[in-house]
Structure 1
Amino acid sequence: MAYEKIMNVGFAIKDEKKGCIIIGGIDDDFSLDRLDIEEKNIIVKNSINEFVFEVKKVDISTSISGKINIGLRLIDSADFSKIVAGDEVFKII
């Protein structure tokens, strides 16, 4: 399976209304032009495991420093609780 790194997880939250969300700063080598992942799957990897999630919605914003932040709303999954800050997020190609 081919994939491309989007970002590292800054934090993951589970909101009652919005659902499962991961937020992080876009990787320097990733272009927003390739951020066509809404209603597609992503991979979240840590040093031990690899999890596949379906993206429900993508939100883009800027930080105070001017960097691009991405918020990914995911379809609810039992594996969501295993996501921690620092995990890597990849787009499946």
Structure 2
Amino acid sequence: MRVGLLRKVGVATAAYGVAVAAWPGLPARLSGLTDEGGRTAAATGISLRPPGWRDAAGGAAPAPAPKGRRSGPPSPSGSRPTSGTRHCSD
């Protein structure tokens, strides 16, 4: 597993999650969840923020993960458990 790539994807996912949580109108516009004026309903914003928080937390987890061992059993503090947890949450 390429730890550098895992970290970059994690940071990008965390940044996306923060953006969605801060501005839920961004994904709402892209998915057609706005009215004719381009405004997002309050309920739509409320429903889009938790997935943004989840993405921010799940993306931030692999960023500081240490590099796992190449041979032997996987290290519990390595990147494999972190990436597995990230994939299972999706």
Q: Relative contact order, CA 8 A, sep 6+: which one is greater?
A: 1
TM-score above 0.5:
no
- Which structure has more strand as a fraction of its residues? 1
TM-score bucket of the superposed structures, by smaller chain: under 0.3
- Which structure has more helix as a fraction of its residues? 2
